[in-house]
Chains A and B, each alone.
Chain A
Amino acid sequence: MPNTLRLHYEIPGDDFTYAGEASSCVKKTLGRLGINPSVIKKVSIAMYEAEINAVIHAGGGSADVEINQQKIIVKISDSGPGIPDLELAMKEGYSTAPDHIREMGFGAGMGLPNIKKNADNLQIETEVGKGTTVTIEVFLQ
Chain B
Amino acid sequence: MNNYFHSVTLDENKCRGCTNCIKRCPTEAIRVRKSKARIINERCIDCGECIRICPYHAKKAITDPFDAINNFQYKIALPAPAFYSQFKPSSPRDKILNALIGVGFDDVFEVAKAAEIVTCATRDFIAKNKYPRPLISSACPAIVRLIQVRFPSLLDNLVPLDSPMELAAKMAKQAAAKKTGMDFSQIGTFFITPCAAKMTSIRSPYGKNKSMVDGAISIKEIYLKVLQKLNSQNLKQLIQAGSDGISWALSGGEAGLLNVDNYLSVDGIHNVITILEEVENERLEDVDFIEALACTGGCLGGPLNVENVYVANTQLKQHINMAKKYNNTICVNDSNEYEYLRWTQSVEHKSILMLDDDLDEAMKKLETLERIYEQLPGLDCGACGAPSCRALSEDIVRGNADETDCVFKLREKVRTLARQMIELEAKMPPVLDKEGNINKEE
What's the minimum C-beta distance from B150 to chain A, rounded to whole angstroms?
A: 8
| Residue from the list A34, A40, A114 in contact with B357, Cβ < 8 A | A34
Is B349's CB within 8 Å of the partner chain A?
yes
Which of B152, B356, B357, B369: most chain A Cβ within 10 A? B152
In angstroms, Cα B89 to Cα A74, docked, is 59
What's the minimum C-beta distance from A43 to chain B, rounded to whole angstroms?
A: 11
Is B366's CB within 8 Å of the partner chain A?
yes
Is B283's CB within 8 Å of the partner chain A?
yes
In angstroms, Cα B361 to Cα A69, docked, is 11
Given contacts A5-B367, A28-B353, contact A33 B281 (CB under 8 A): no
Query: Chain A 23-39 against B: per-residue CB contact (8 Å), 1 yes, 0 no?
Result: 11001110111110110
Query: Chain B 282-319 against A: per-residue CB contact (8 Å), 1 yes, 0 no?
Result: 11000000000000000000000000000000000000
B366 touches A33 (CB 8 A): yes
B153 touches A37 (CB 8 A): yes
Is A82's CB within 8 Å of the partner chain B?
no
B353 touches A114 (CB 8 A): no
B353 touches A31 (CB 8 A): yes
What's the minimum C-beta distance from A29 to chain B, rounded to whole angstroms?
A: 7
B280 touches A44 (CB 8 A): yes
| Residue from the list A3, A45, A67 in contact with B281, Cβ < 8 A | A45
Given contacts A37-B349, A114-B282, contact A3 B153 (CB under 8 A): no
| Residue from the list A23, A38, A114 in contact with B153, Cβ < 8 A | A38
Chain B residues, Cβ within 8 Å of A3: 359-360, 363-364
In angstroms, Cα B349 to Cα A34, docked, is 11
In angstroms, Cα B262 to Cα A52, docked, is 25
Closest-by-CB residue of B relative to A48 is B281
A31 touches B280 (CB 8 A): no
Is B174's CB within 8 Å of the partner chain A?
no
What's the minimum C-beta distance from A13 to chain B, rounded to whole angstroms?
A: 19
Is B351's CB within 8 Å of the partner chain A?
yes
Query: Chain B 2-26 against A: per-residue CB contact (8 Å), 1 yes, 0 no?
Result: 0000000000000000000000000
A31 touches B366 (CB 8 A): no
A34 touches B355 (CB 8 A): yes
B277 touches A24 (CB 8 A): yes
What's the minimum C-beta distance from B287 to chain A, rounded to whole angstroms?
A: 11
In angstroms, Cα B363 to Cα A119, docked, is 22
Q: How many A-B residue pairs have CB under 8 A?
A: 60
Chain B residues, Cβ within 8 Å of A32: 353-355, 362, 366, 369, 394
B355 touches A33 (CB 8 A): yes
Given contacts A28-B353, A37-B349, contact A69 B359 (CB under 8 A): yes
What's the minimum C-beta distance from B354 to chain A, rounded to whole angstroms?
A: 4
Is A20's CB within 8 Å of the partner chain B?
yes
Is A41's CB within 8 Å of the partner chain B?
yes
Closest-by-CB residue of A relative to B286 is A105
Closest-by-CB residue of B relative to A2 is B360
Chain B residues, Cβ within 8 Å of A27: 280
Which of B281, B282, B356, B366: most chain A Cβ within 10 A? B281
Closest-by-CB residue of B relative to A35 is B359
A31 touches B354 (CB 8 A): yes
Chain B residues, Cβ within 8 Å of A38: 153
What's the minimum C-beta distance from A38 to chain B, rounded to whole angstroms?
A: 7
Query: Chain B 316-340 against A: per-residue CB contact (8 Å), 1 yes, 0 no?
Result: 0000000000000000000000000
In angstroms, Cα B355 to Cα A94, docked, is 42
B360 touches A105 (CB 8 A): no
Chain A residues, Cβ within 8 Å of B360: 1-3, 69
A34 touches B281 (CB 8 A): no
What's the minimum C-beta distance from B433 to chain A, rounded to whole angstroms?
A: 53
In angstroms, Cα B4 to Cα A12, docked, is 44
What's the minimum C-beta distance from A82 to chain B, rounded to whole angstroms?
A: 26
In angstroms, Cα B359 to Cα A27, docked, is 15
Q: Which of A45-72 contact B (CB under 8 A)?
A: 45, 48, 67, 69
Across the A-B interface, give the 3 residue pairs with the lowest CB-CB distance, nearest first.
A31-B353, A34-B354, A37-B152
**Beyond A5-B366, A23-B281, A37-B153, 17 extra complex contacts between A and B, CB < 8 Å:** A1-B360, A3-B359, A3-B364, A5-B363, A5-B367, A24-B277, A31-B351, A31-B353, A31-B354, A32-B354, A32-B369, A32-B394, A33-B362, A34-B355, A37-B152, A41-B280, A45-B282
14 contacts between A and B (CB under 8 A): A4-B363, A5-B363, A23-B281, A32-B355, A32-B362, A33-B362, A34-B353, A37-B153, A38-B153, A41-B280, A44-B280, A45-B280, A69-B359, A69-B360
Which residues in B have some Cβ–Cβ distance to A below 8 Å? 152-153, 277, 280-283, 349, 351, 353-357, 359-360, 362-364, 366-367, 369, 394
